Amino acid sequence: MEFTLNGYYTLILATLVLLVGKFLVKRIKFLSDFNIPEPVAGGLVGAAIVYALNVMFGYSFNFQKELQTACMLMFFASIGLSADFSRLKAGGTGLVIFLVVVSAFIILQDVVGVGMAMALGIDPLLGLVAGSVSLTGGHGTAGAWGATFEDTYGVVGATTLGIACATYGLVSGGIIGGPVAKRLIGKLGMKPQEAAATATASNARSLDGAPNKTDNDDYSGEEIFEKADNVRLITATSAVETLALFAACLAFSDIMVGVAKGTWFELPQFVWALFGGVVLRNALTNIFNFDMFDRAIDVFGNAALSLFLAMALLSLKLWELADLAGPILVILLVQTVVMVLYATFVTYRIMGKDYDSAVLAAGHCGFGMGATPTAIANMQAITDRYLPSHKAFLIVPMVGAFFVDIVNVAILQGFIAFIA
């Protein structure tokens, strides 16, 4: 028996999933320690219930796709609207070099994924899913590309696998970052500091990625998309202005999908939403000196991502994964080893072979396999025991929060054009 739920019931169930996820993350230490997102924790429970109903009673559920798509587009528009390229100046040469290092790793990650998929006899596009789509990209990117792979290329279970791979990446990224940095710092002859130095590191970190900043000009770094529960001081006027910007990005994406259809620059709609946000942000701020309200963008972006993930996970068909679980796990284990080696022998060395570069390597493990919150947690664990790293806490949040998503989209388009 098949049930179809309209937008109202879909939204109600999505919010219930988020509440369940919030409860689970607060009560289960493992989930909080590894920064598992609340929508993922609750969504997997919802997906398991849907699976059980299908197995026991033959029930299946269809949720309104339009609402899920709108939330996805809003999230990617929020990334674009936050991508102020003038912030590259704040990071200096180190930020540009790190972005190049990360971009090269994304290419390697996809080469490994596609190569392993072909060797294991599965669709090469699933190799991308177990590559930068879910690992560097995270849950939001995994859900978006998964839907594209399913609808456009007929890849069964791409969304389900993407969410599963992204969850694996969050956990593994949190596990490997600390040991990698500890080994590198040990080679420098440094030892953990006493409590006084730890306090100094904590104070320095509050300057690098301060969670209590209120000035809009300083609102950047760790807080963007990473501290969803922090209080954001927004007004009705700023909310309306921000919604107008989102509407412009979504309208632009809708227009461009029609314009580009059948041409060489045909792209998924969420890519156009992201690109529209980038253009709008930098045009308004650099040409018209418009004061973008980042806090409102952050709030709407986080809310849209949470709802999108909740709805995507409710729509999962876990029974489609049985034949792919083994090969995908092999690919993910290889990706983990590649991340450790790359962070140790490439990220660390190119970024200077010093303490800051060791902390950067830990951060790269975090968002190279999982997400920026994992990167921040990895770096905090290191600086709590050793010394502050202003350079790492300036560079990693800016690269991981939005610049890497833009680069990842471009690289994925190239791979898809080659193998699809």
CA distance 169 to 333: 10
In this predicted structure, what is the pLDDT of residue 212? 36
DSSP state of 227: -
Work out the average pLDDT over 123-150.
90
In this predicted structure, what is the pLDDT of residue 205? 36
CA distance 95 to 176: 23
Query: 400: closest CA among 144, 138, 130?
Result: 138
Model confidence over 73-90: pLDDT tens digits? 998 898 889 877 777 676
Reply yes or no on whether the pLDDT at 158 is more than 80. yes
Reply yes or no on whether the pLDDT at 329 is more than 70. yes
Reply yes or no on whether the pLDDT at 69 is more than 90. no
Q: Is the dihedral of CA 288, 293, 294, 296 positive or negative?
A: negative
DSSP state of 403: I
Cβ–Cβ under 8 Å, residues 221 and 393 = yes
In this predicted structure, what is the pLDDT of residue 100? 95
Model confidence over 368-395: pLDDT tens digits? 997 777 788 788 888 888 888 888 887 8
CA distance 133 to 163: 10
Reply yes or no on whether the pLDDT at 183 is more than 50. yes
Q: Return the higher-pLDDT residue of 218 and 148.
A: 148
Three-state DSSP class for 226?
A: coil
CA distance 227 to 177: 20
CA distance 337 to 308: 31
Three-state DSSP class for 220?
A: coil
Amino acid symbol at 216? N
Three-state DSSP class for 62?
A: strand
Phi and psi dihedrals of 62, rounded to 5? -115, 130
CA distance 325 to 337: 19
Reply yes or no on whether the pLDDT at 292 is more than 50. yes
In this predicted structure, what is the pLDDT of residue 397? 78
Reply yes or no on whether the pLDDT at 154 is more than 70. yes
CA distance 355 to 192: 12
Q: Is the dihedral of CA 257, 260, 262, 266 positive or negative?
A: negative
In this predicted structure, what is the pLDDT of residue 121? 92
- Per-residue pLDDT band for 334 (boundaries 50, 70, 90) equals very high
Three-state DSSP class for 175?
A: helix
Number of domains comprising the chain: 1
Output the six-digit token pair for 415.
């791979």
Phi and psi dihedrals of 154, rounded to 5? 70, 30
Reply yes or no on whether the pLDDT at 210 is more than 50. no
In this predicted structure, what is the pLDDT of residue 2? 78
Work out the average pLDDT over 313-317.
76
Find the domain containing 116 and state its range.
2-419
Model confidence over 104-121: pLDDT tens digits? 999 999 999 999 999 999
- Per-residue pLDDT band for 34 (boundaries 50, 70, 90) equals low
**Residue whose tokens read 């299908």:** 54
Cβ–Cβ under 8 Å, residues 50 and 28 = no
Q: How are beta strands 60-63 and 2-5 bridged, if at all?
A: parallel
Q: Return the higher-pLDDT residue of 35 and 14.
A: 14
Q: Return the higher-pLDDT residue of 250 and 402.
A: 250
Work out the average pLDDT over 224-247.
75
Mean pLDDT score of the chain: 83
Query: 149: closest CA among 165, 160, 139?
Result: 160
The answer to which of 183-192, 214-223, 259-268 has the lowest mean pLDDT is 214-223
CA distance 195 to 173: 27
Residue-by-residue DSSP string for 321-379: -TTTHHHHHHHHHHHHHHHHHHIIIIIHHHTTSSHHHHHHHHHHHHHHHT-HHHHHHHH
Work out the average pLDDT over 7-36.
86
Of all residues in the chain, what percent carry a pLDDT higher than 70? 86
**Residue whose tokens read 């992204």:** 166
- Per-residue pLDDT band for 60 (boundaries 50, 70, 90) equals confident
- Per-residue pLDDT band for 202 (boundaries 50, 70, 90) equals very low
Who contacts 352 (Cβ-Cβ below 8 Å, separation ≥6)?
Answer: none
Work out the average pLDDT over 152-175.
86
Reply yes or no on whether the pLDDT at 218 is more than 60. no
In this predicted structure, what is the pLDDT of residue 140? 82
